[in-house]
Amino acid sequence: MATEGGGKEMNEIKTQFTTREGLYKLLPNSEYSRPNRVPFNSQGSNPVRVSFVNLNDQSGNGDRLCFNVGRELYFYIYKGVRKAADLSKPIDKRIYKGTQPTCHDFNHLTATAESVSLLVGFSAGQVQLIDPIKKETSKLFNEERLIDKSRVTCVRWVPGSESLFLVAHSSGNMYLYNVEHTCGTTAPHYQLLKQGESFAVHTCKSKSTRNPLLKWTVGEGALNEFAFSPDGKFLACVSQDGFLRVFNFDSVEPRRQVHRDGGRG
């Protein structure tokens, strides 16, 4: 290996490097990845997302994690970063054809050692409800893509609810679903509920209650991410237009918006 005049080695192996996406560091402890260690080609694939849940297992090892890699979805026991994981023994593994998982979220309210509800969003717009412990698939929402055909960018359970969840799409729309309701066999029709600067909220116009319950259109371009406050009172959304917008979730009233350049509204 070549050296500089001062004795410093060139081509030194780095333990971290910086890109425009952020800082990457070498993890010296346990790691989770594809069990077969086959190199993953990220070109054209969705980012890896990780979701955690605690099942209140009496054994004291109730932590579980879920992550997606390409067309695959894994569910593992999580023992912390300092304990090696047995990658050859996932609790559940699913391989999808024709679409890729893009995001997921556990229902922490209903999770037990025997059952856990996991929502999975997909690149073709569908949302699946599965139980990776019972290895069951209970429901598929937007199956015919009549509600939205664009990629699911974020999915989350509404805090404190066993049945309500919110889904964001790259179309710039968000939809409120109830797991107890079905999706219609025709494209939904909407009526305006509330409108303001850079947002509009519509209800589903139907003789019987069906999904989606609400449709939010926020900002311009894709809706990249959203998050609830811990008490579920507020909803923060980040759009491709560079704005972070905060709403009162129940009243769908806007509270504040901040642009990435520092401007406020």
Model pLDDT, residue 147? 98
Model pLDDT, residue 5? 47
**pLDDT tens for the chain, residues 1 to 265:** 444 444 445 566 777 778 766 777 765 545 555 555 544 454 556 789 999 999 977 777 789 999 999 999 999 998 887 777 777 889 999 999 989 999 999 999 999 999 999 999 999 999 999 999 999 878 999 999 999 999 999 999 999 999 999 999 999 999 999 999 999 999 999 999 999 989 999 999 887 889 999 999 999 999 999 999 999 999 999 999 999 999 999 999 999 999 987 666 5
Model pLDDT, residue 122? 98
Total-model pTM: 0.82
Model pLDDT, residue 11? 60
Q: CA-to-CA distance for 212 and 142, rounded, in angstroms?
A: 9
User: How many CA atoms lie less than 13 Å away from 257 in the CB half-sphere?
Assistant: 17
Backbone angles phi, psi at 54, to 5 degrees: -115, 125
Model pLDDT, residue 238? 96
Model pLDDT, residue 264? 63
Q: CA-to-CA distance for 131 and 94, rounded, in angstroms?
A: 12
Model pLDDT, residue 112? 94
For the chain, domains (ranges, CATH) are 27-141 (no CATH), 142-265 (2.130.10.10)
Q: Write the DSSP assignment of 140-199 as a string of letters.
A: EESTTSSS--SPEEEEEEPTT-SSEEEEEETTSEEEEEETTSPBPSS--EEEEEEEETTE
Model pLDDT, residue 110? 95
Angle of CA points 173, 157, 71, to nearest 5°: 75
